[in-house]
Structure 1
Amino acid sequence: MSLEIAPDADGRLVCPFDHHSPEYAQQNREMFKDLRDAGPVVWSEAYGGFWVATDYVHIREVLNDSETFTVETIDGAREGGTLLPAPRGAAFLKPDTTLFNFFDGERHDRVRAALNPHFSRRRVAQLAPLIEATVSRVLDRVVEQREFDIVYDLAAPITAGIVNEHMGFGLEDPAPFFRAVFSLKRAEEVADPASKDPVVTTYKEGWAYLGEVARARREEPRDDVISALVQADDGAFTDEDIQGMCMNVIFGAADTTAAFTAHSLTFLAERPDLQAELRADPKKIPAFIREGLRYFNVAMGVARTATRDVELGGMQIRRGDRVFALQPSGNLDPALYEEPEAFDMARPAQQHLGFGGGIHSCLGASLAQAIVAADIRGVLERVEAYSIDPGKLVRNSDLSFISLFEEAPMRVDVVADRQATVP
């Protein structure tokens, strides 16, 4: 396809870009090329009008400069945050909540300073036994079933189990709460505060439960993240602050990690050569993941709001203008990546945009990579051959924020004749 992009009277490059549209979901890679060819920054009239940063350099500039491009509201305007347009019904997805993805500056830095040590590479390395045990336990079940859904039966329970244990949520079965967050994050229409929808009820109960856990940890601290948070910053964080921190962790983990595992396994199903290479040398799995973060593009973009008049990519951005950082387009930018549409594990390491950038770069990046690596390694060790029918894969219809699978059925064709050992 070819997007019709032309300058208007104000000198803006105007294009009919709508990241919520079915056309975008089906042909986004072609659109990325059209957008980059038109210019590094273009204007869309959709949703009241917003700018789109299309190439790597200018996407990175938007993400890195939180003083100029903020997640907060400007001049009391309703719009703000990371979603465009801002959701109507989901109050917890709007700015000015306790979720640290919706504020910048000192407040954000205090929260990240409290959380960062618990998701550092060093701390994630210490979580290896937990990751190993969780992956092994879930694989025991699904491999025996022979047929299962990659997201709902494999990847999501693994992520939920690990985060539940690490954070100290203490949920006997964390999967329903994580699924509720997953659903509400993607479907604002069910987030009406008066809704009796069971998903909304589960979410509300989970939110209240997190407050109870925070209060309990003040009385009796344990060796978990919540206990550390109630003591952090000289005990300055309120229970609501801690609820928000915990919910932010769940928001980040509930779908993205499972989605990346699903993208990886469906891709490997079509590439037996890569399966064989990774089975022969599991040390190459991190390189596979690094290239997959660039190539699969689970994160589809985030919005910011300009805090001042500024030039970006030759365009004049005004204070209060909304700007959409089109991360997958940057990850496929030929100005940075040679043959960007090719999957190449030997590609020189570049700073991809899969985990965002700047102060809002993904908190759980190291943990997510460790979990996905264990997922892939565990499957390849336990399963000699598996198959996925492409006709049964169901992708999400709205790729404005995340690329995932609604359904990803997998069949174990041949079980390996050795036990899995996930190092």
Structure 2
Amino acid sequence: MNPAAPHTTTPATTAPVSEQDLFSDHTLAHTEEVYGELRSLGTVVYLPANDAYAITRYEAIRTANSDPATFSSRQVAFNPQMNEILSGTSLASDPPQHGKLRAILTDNLSPRAMRSLKGTIYADADTLVRELVEKRTFDGMADLAVAFPVSVVLDLIGVQGDKRDRILPWGEAAFNLLGPLNQRARESFPLAGELFKWTHEEMTGDGLAEGSIGHAVWQAAERGDIAPESFGYLVHQILAAGMDTTIATIGNLIQLLADHPDQYAKLRRDPSKIPAAVAETLRFRTPAPGFGRVTTRDVEVDGVTIPAGSQVALLYGSGNRDELKYENPDVFDIDRNPVDHLGFGYGIHGCAGQGLAKLEINGLVESWIRHVDSFTVTDVIPRLNNFSRPYASMQVTITA
């Protein structure tokens, strides 16, 4: 365990200071603990290790996300190279550019579009779960949490051929590059470069299945609805971000239900609680717990002035454990049903793919509670990533 980080408190209009590093091995492995310490210092905490102002409280995070004119997404990553690469994506743009780019995603990922996929996704989920039940023991990450969303998203994007095997390591590398240029990020550059080269230089709409979202984005570029270069950016964004957080959430939910058999029994008795269980998982163990912003002007947040041009870290995972927002926030309780959680972000940059993520997770859980009376999870091994919080593996054993 890392020793308690020293901190000092400076005058009223400046932020308390913590020596914690948001991207250290210790923080990545003990995110909720570190975020709790930062939250106890104040709503805004300055982190010299990251040269960033962390916003820790739920209401302040929502307010910042509601004000893109002040909290710009031009610095969503914590290094200048990645921010330059992301320029031109909906993730790293502000209004009015953001609206046109975002519309291409939301048109294809809208609730109406997702409804047409529900039958197929639920049927595929049931097939996978029944196969795993027959195995009795399996790797909950590779065989369940990874296998299902990777298959669904690649079909949705229209990715075909040998590139399918490369997508998962590409996506994980892209998430590492959203942090600072630490060792994890530097080691990820070659893989992330392969993804960038494919999406921006090699891929064409002809290589994506007709009727897929990827093909639709290419057609939008061909019509002139978006700039030609935006095609690669948008597909890059969907592929990099469309799976990792869903994978992490499935793994988190399986582990949490195994660790809380009373909650699993409650869920089996009342399957209508599935959406609440998913929401509570996203609150309790946020899969992408922090995102970057940059201030365009001096702004006061809860009595602290953040100077113009400052890197800001919106700690969604901290806001989701804010005791001023949620009663007993460190308790996993599916009856809480926190529909207002920050697990998908908030505001104009809220996760465009959350409808698909919910379909995938809900479909798996519905089949899981139907076929599995009880199960255990052991040998959980985390995988440290600068931006997401996945597990590398976990052994799932179906006991009944």
Length-normalised TM-score, structure 1: 0.83
Of 187, 191, 200 in structure 2, the residue corresponding to residue 190 of structure 1 is 187
Instruction: Please tell me whether the aligned partners of residues 18 and 46 of structure 1 are also in contact (alpha carbons under 8 angstroms).
Output: yes
1:227 corresponds to 2:215:
yes
1:100 corresponds to 2:90:
yes
- Cα 1:17–1:259 change in 2 (3 A) is same
Of 386, 394, 400 in structure 2, the residue corresponding to residue 408 of structure 1 is 394
Opposite residue 58 of structure 1, the aligned amino acid is A
1:260 partner SS = helix
Give the gaps of 5 or more residues in structure 1. 73-79, 415-423
Percent identity over the alignment? 26
1:338 corresponds to 2:340:
no
Query: How far off is 1:27 after superposition?
Result: 4.0
Query: How far off is 1:301 after superposition?
Result: 0.5
Give the gaps of 5 or more residues in structure 2. 177-183
Aligned-partner Cα distance in 1 for 2:49–2:41: 18
Aligned-partner Cα distance in 2 for 1:94–1:285: 40
Query: How far off is 1:116 after superposition?
Result: 0.4
Alignment map for 1:249-268 (pairs within 5 Å)? 249-268=238-257
Query: How far off is 1:108 after superposition?
Result: 1.6
Residue in 2 aligned with 1:376? Answer: 365
- Cα 1:26–1:191 change in 2 (3 A) is closer
Aligned-partner Cα distance in 2 for 1:7–1:201: 42
Deviations 1:234-277 (A, max 9, x none): 43335532221112111222211011000000111122222222
Aligned-partner Cα distance in 1 for 2:65–2:38: 19
Aligned-partner Cα distance in 1 for 2:134–2:251: 19
Aligned-partner Cα distance in 2 for 1:99–1:36: 31
Of 397, 409, 413 in structure 1, the residue corresponding to residue 384 of structure 2 is 397
Residue in 1 aligned with 2:181? Answer: none
2:313 partner SS = strand
Query: How far off is 1:202 after superposition?
Result: 5.7
Alignment map for 1:280-359 (pairs within 5 Å)? 280-347=269-336, 349-359=338-348
Instruction: Please tell me whether the aligned partners of residues 126 and 364 of structure 2 are also in contact (alpha carbons under 8 angstroms).
Output: no
1:83 corresponds to 2:77:
yes
Deviations 1:339-380 (A, max 9, x none): 111222222645111011121110111111111111122222
Opposite residue 408 of structure 1, the aligned amino acid is M
Aligned-partner Cα distance in 1 for 2:201–2:399: 42
Residue in 2 aligned with 1:419? Answer: none
Residue in 2 aligned with 1:417? Answer: none
Opposite residue 50 of structure 1, the aligned amino acid is A
- Cα 1:209–1:160 change in 2 (3 A) is farther
Deviations 1:201-221 (A, max 9, x none): 863674368722x1467xxx9
Residue in 2 aligned with 1:164? Answer: 154
1:343 partner SS = coil
- Cα 1:272–1:11 change in 2 (3 A) is closer
Aligned-partner Cα distance in 2 for 1:341–1:260: 17
Length-normalised TM-score, structure 2: 0.88
1:394 partner SS = strand
Query: How far off is 1:69 after superposition?
Result: 1.0
Of 38, 49, 53 in structure 2, the residue corresponding to residue 51 of structure 1 is 53
Which 10-residue stretch deviates more, 19-28 or 297-306? Answer: 19-28
Aligned-partner Cα distance in 1 for 2:312–2:261: 41
Opposite residue 407 of structure 1, the aligned amino acid is S
Instruction: Please tell me whether the aligned partners of residues 199 and 235 of structure 2 are also in contact (alpha carbons under 8 angstroms).
Output: no
Which 10-residue stretch deviates more, 38-47 or 228-237? Answer: 228-237
- Cα 1:346–1:302 change in 2 (3 A) is same
Of 14, 17, 21 in structure 2, the residue corresponding to residue 18 of structure 1 is 21
- Cα 1:105–1:29 change in 2 (3 A) is same
Query: How far off is 1:326 after superposition?
Result: 1.0
Residue in 1 aligned with 2:179? Answer: none
Opposite residue 168 of structure 2, the aligned amino acid is F
1:64 corresponds to 2:66:
yes
Aligned-partner Cα distance in 1 for 2:14–2:99: 38
Query: How far off is 1:87 after superposition?
Result: 7.0
Residue in 1 aligned with 2:180? Answer: none
2:384 partner SS = coil
- Cα 1:57–1:345 change in 2 (3 A) is same
Instruction: Please tell me whether the aligned partners of residues 173 and 188 of structure 2 are also in contact (alpha carbons under 8 angstroms).
Output: no
Aligned-partner Cα distance in 2 for 1:166–1:351: 27
Q: How big is the alpha-carbon RMSD for the aligned residues of Structure 1 and Structure 2?
A: 2.7
